[in-house]
Amino acid sequence: MKITLNGADAQVDSPPLTPLLHVLREELGVLSAKAGCENGGCGACTVLIDGSPRRACLTAAIAADGSEVTTVEGLGTPEALSPVQKAFVHFCAAQCGFCTPGMVIAATAYLDKGGSGSREEITEALAGHVCRCTGYLKIVDAVAAAREGDFDMSVAAESPHTQVRA
């Protein structure tokens, strides 16, 4: 099987019914998709397959054959973050980081499909994603801001909330 992973061709040698999550993590070395509940309930393993969000733990590798698979690494780089990634940094929307890749992927898919950016719609779009560290307010704020481009990253760099203290 072959997939395009974050813009690069990748050969998959795992058996066809191997969960895509295991292929990504164990065969291809992509660790951003997390093995949370491994039954589709938490959203930590969410990836884009041909632009649609899918739970990698529930998706057989064969279902991605010939497809474009995008993980959070494929959205941007540390030097050039995607709008959603920038907003998550600016709004301190990530705490432990376990759910963050799946949330960022789901938010990206929602915005790419023309989501309105209303708090209710964002909450609905992220409903299948579990975060045990936050009350979701900063996450929803980040997604709404990413939709509007309503933040300045230079301010985030100066914020006491984004600086590491010794």
Q: Are 33 and 21 in contact (CB under 8 A)?
A: yes
Shared domain check, 153 and 119: yes
Supply the CATH number for residue 122's domain: 1.10.150.120
Shared domain check, 87 and 49: no
> How high is the pLDDT of residue 157?
45
Name the nearest CA neighbour of 107 among 90, 91, 87: 87
Per the structure, the complete domain to which residue 10 belongs is given by 2-74
Task: State how many domains the chain has.
Answer: 2
Percent of residues, the chain, with pLDDT higher than 70: 90
Is residue 153's pLDDT more than 80? Answer: no
Average pLDDT of the chain, as a whole number = 90
Shared domain check, 97 and 152: yes
Give rounded-to-5 percent helix, strand, coil for the chain: 40, 15, 50
Shared domain check, 107 and 55: no
How big is the chain, counted in residues?
Answer: 166
Shared domain check, 95 and 37: no
Shared domain check, 96 and 57: no
Shared domain check, 121 and 50: no
**Domain boundary residue among 19, 41, 74?**
74
Shared domain check, 54 and 88: no
38, 64, 78, 84, 108 from 56: Cα distances, Å: 9, 10, 24, 21, 16
DSSP 3-state of 146 = helix
Shared domain check, 54 and 105: no
Average pLDDT over residues 89-100: 90
- Tell me the pTM: 0.88
Shared domain check, 126 and 68: no
Shared domain check, 137 and 112: yes
pLDDT in tens, 42-84: 999 999 999 999 999 999 999 999 999 999 999 999 899 999 9
Shared domain check, 56 and 92: no
